[in-house]
């Protein structure tokens, strides 16, 4: 890659730029965003080489364009850059919902471009902004690519190599399966954490509640501090899969609530044991993956 | 304190013993439990000085008895030790529900003993067993004591001093308020985490789900690996407060689900922002407390 344009130079876009520069995988990184102060900061931090606040200007002459903005801005951006895209420009994104990205692209382009490779790095934390960017954010993490039928193998290989250069393990799957899995493992837990923190904050005893809470609640609610705009857009973009996950979750909560109501200790014990064992299995998977990376 | 008996020498009871020994606050620690192998291990680790598997024998001649067993075993234990308790023996516990402990003691003793000081250290983690005991588990943590009307000031002072010696900050409150607060901050989050892990584990895509999950889910589900017996007993012991907390939580989840269903982005944004700000407030409280300790 000679020249890459990253639209949205925050935690995710900025960390990608840092990692590509670290590995000399790109000659020039152009940033794009609406906040000049933040883009100047990105230059200071060595994250980007230059910037342009106009997307159509920023992507000119780029080999690769990365859309690292909230889901709700994707379609507008695609419309803005469409007139200046070269035939062989590769376009990828980092959004948390993939079917809606394909819908947006279909809306803008009619036929999906060969260069479009929807992607989603499973990385990040509750921080945001370019100051939070880290050169090793993607080290050992998964990146899911959901190429469509017209995606060229050249574009797919280029995006795959880009993420592998950053230390990520790249997987391909259908956009629908991606959305289902992410709804279950990320979007649902965020909604649950948002709900819990709101419930606690609205309690008449909220002062005592936060005063006497311990480390377990800190871990459990960490994701509630994530960016509200990003999560609004995720909920709008992956609505159907999220609502289905909430419904399944409610059925499980119903079952647990019923055994508490009936003081059914045996069922509680077996249900908690199953959860305990499943969590231990999950922890071992994560630990093994960290040892590998 | 000359001679203390800790019934249940696991993470909580064992860490108490280690801290008291570290500060030379006790001359002799007798352990009690059902598993001789575990009690021998506790001697090896220097957690206790000796043990007796018969509670009535173990508590003889002790100044202080600490019940560090799951809530469901409290009443039976009180019955077992009642015949040999001296008039001035101080009894305290570490259970996560306080009204039910008072109910159990009333059942056993008729009138509540002057020496009974119900207590609850807000500490612990997902580990269990004496091998997990840590000398500094209570450093900077809160311990809530819920003395009843007949609790003597001597007994209350002694238990307060015991926990302060371990580095804890001791607070007093009504047993009912304790149960309400703990239901909200600990018991409800555990039920939510158990439910989520069960929902994910029961999914037809569970392999992919655990494979593509990231650090956020690890934190969110950590508490699901807690001891199933302990949590069965907590749910049985604090049932009313827990069910009330689940009901309040469901109302909050209903509200969030409704704005997702109607794609009401503005309401999502304001609800997520409120959760974000409340979590940031909570984080600052915890950080300040850690700096103090």
On the CB side of A122, CA atoms within 13 Å amount to: 28
DSSP state of A2: -
Residue A201: CB atoms within 10 Å: 19
Dist. CA B175–CA B147, nearest whole Å: 8
The reply to whether A10 and A154 lie within a common domain is: yes
Q: Is residue A74 situated within a structural domain?
A: yes
In terms of Cα–Cα distance, which of B162, B102, B108, B115 is closest to B138? Answer: B162
Q: Is residue B291 situated within a structural domain?
A: no
The reply to whether A10 and A82 lie within a common domain is: yes
Q: Is residue B281 situated within a structural domain?
A: no
The reply to whether A75 and A163 lie within a common domain is: yes
Dist. CA A118–CA A94, nearest whole Å: 7
The reply to whether A216 and A161 lie within a common domain is: no
Taking an 8 Å cut-off on Cβ atoms, the answer to whether A256 and B194 are in contact is yes
Dist. CA B4–CA B87, nearest whole Å: 15
Q: What's the average model confidence in pLDDT over A77-100?
A: 96
Query: Which residues numbered 218-247 in A keep a CB inside 8 Å of some CB on B?
Result: 218-229, 231-233, 235-236, 239, 242-243, 245-246
Q: How far apart, in Å, are the Cα atoms of A105 and each of A57, A100, A143, A179, B202?
A: 20, 9, 20, 17, 34
CB-CB neighbors (< 8 A) of B248 in chain A: 199, 203
Query: Which residues numbered 144-163 in A keep a CB inside 8 Å of some CB on B?
Result: 144
pLDDT at residue number B94: 97
Q: Is residue A279 situated within a structural domain?
A: no
B187 contact partners, CB below 8 Å, separation of at least 6:
B96, B234, B235, B238, B241, B242, B245
Query: Looking at B173, B198, B215, which one is the last position of a domain?
Result: B173
The reply to whether A123 and A32 lie within a common domain is: yes
String of b and e for A115-153 (b: at least 16 CB within 10 Å)? Answer: bbbbbbbbbbbbebebebbebebbeebbbbbbbbeebbe
Range of the structural domain that residue B204 is part of: 177-262
The reply to whether A138 and A244 lie within a common domain is: no
Query: Looking at B132, B152, B173, which one is the last position of a domain?
Result: B173
The answer to whether residue A135 scores a pLDDT higher than 70 is: yes
Query: Looking at B173, B204, B219, which one is the last position of a domain?
Result: B173
Query: Which residues numbered 74-103 in A keep a CB inside 8 Å of some CB on B?
Result: none
Q: Is residue A108 situated within a structural domain?
A: yes
pLDDT at residue number B243: 98
Q: Is residue A236 situated within a structural domain?
A: yes
The shortest C-alpha distance from B196 to chain A (Å) reads: 6
Taking an 8 Å cut-off on Cβ atoms, the answer to whether A209 and B181 are in contact is yes
CB-CB neighbors (< 8 A) of B268 in chain A: 228, 231-232, 235-236
pLDDT in tens, chain B (293 residues): 899 999 999 999 999 999 999 999 999 999 999 999 999 999 999 999 999 999 999 999 999 999 999 999 999 999 999 999 998 999 999 999 999 999 999 999 999 999 999 999 998 776 889 999 999 999 989 999 999 999 999 999 999 999 999 999 999 999 999 999 999 999 999 999 999 999 999 998 888 888 888 777 888 899 999 889 989 999 999 999 999 999 999 999 999 999 999 999 999 999 999 999 999 999 998 888 778 76
Q: Indicate the average pLDDT of chain A.
A: 94
The residue ranking higher by pLDDT, A128 or B245, is: B245
Q: How do beta strands A119-121 and A142-145 pair?
A: antiparallel
Residue B65 structure tokens: 């008895």
Phi, psi of A49 (to 5 degrees): -95, -35
CB-CB neighbors (< 8 A) of B273 in chain A: 228
The reply to whether A241 and A169 lie within a common domain is: no
Domain harbouring B189, CATH code? 1.10.3660.10
The reply to whether B116 and B76 lie within a common domain is: yes
The reply to whether A69 and A124 lie within a common domain is: yes
Q: Is residue B276 situated within a structural domain?
A: no
CB B192 within 8 A of CB A196: yes
The shortest C-alpha distance from B2 to chain A (Å) reads: 31
**Beta carbon pairs, A and B, within 8 Å:** 300
pLDDT at residue number A270: 97
pTM: 0.87
Residue A237 structure tokens: 């973009």
CB-CB neighbors (< 8 A) of A184 in chain B: 199-200, 203, 205, 209
ipTM of the complex: 0.86
Question: How many folded domains does chain A comprise?
Answer: 2
Residue A25 structure tokens: 């995988």
Q: Is residue B292 situated within a structural domain?
A: no
Domain harbouring B61, CATH code? 3.40.50.720
Query: Which residues numbered 112-141 in B keep a CB inside 8 Å of some CB on A?
Result: 122-125, 141
The reply to whether A23 and A141 lie within a common domain is: yes
The reply to whether B200 and B160 lie within a common domain is: no
The reply to whether A193 and A235 lie within a common domain is: yes
Q: What's the average model confidence in pLDDT over A74-88?
A: 95
């Amino acid at each position: 890659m000679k020249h890459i344009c990253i639209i949205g130079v925050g935690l995710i876009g900025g960390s990608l730029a840092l990692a590509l520069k670290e590995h000399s995988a790109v000659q020039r990184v152009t940033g794009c965003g609406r906040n000049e102060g933040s883009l100047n900061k990105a230059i200071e931090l060595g994250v980007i080489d230059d910037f342009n606040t106009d997307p159509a200007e920023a992507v000119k002459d780029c080999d690769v364009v990365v859309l690292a903005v909230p889901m709700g801005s994707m379609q507008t951006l695609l419309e803005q850059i469409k007139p200046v895209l070269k035939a062989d420009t590769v376009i990828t994104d980092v959004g948390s919902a993939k079917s809606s990205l394909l819908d947006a692209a279909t809306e803008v382009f009619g036929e999906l471009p060969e260069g479009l490779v929807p992607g989603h790095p499973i990385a990040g934390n509750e921080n945001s902004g370019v100051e939070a960017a880290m050169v090793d954010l993607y080290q050992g993490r998964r990146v899911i690519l959901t190429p469509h039928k017209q995606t060229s193998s050249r574009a797919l290989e280029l995006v795959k190599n880009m993420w592998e250069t950053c230390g990520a393990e790249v997987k391909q799957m259908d956009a629908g399966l991606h959305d289902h899995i992410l709804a279950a493992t990320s979007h649902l837990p965020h909604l649950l954490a948002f709900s819990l923190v709101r419930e606690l904050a609205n309690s008449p005893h909220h002062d005592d509640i936060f005063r006497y809470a311990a480390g377990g609640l800190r871990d459990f609610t960490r994701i509630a501090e994530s960016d509200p705009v990003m999560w609004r857009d995720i909920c709008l973009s992956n609505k159907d899969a999220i609502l289905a996950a909430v419904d399944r979750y409610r059925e499980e909560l119903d079952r647990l609530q019923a055994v508490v109501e009936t003081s059914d200790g045996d069922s509680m014990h077996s249900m908690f044991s199953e959860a305990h064992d499943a969590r231990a299995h999950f922890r071992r998977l994560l630990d093994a993956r960290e040892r590998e990376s």
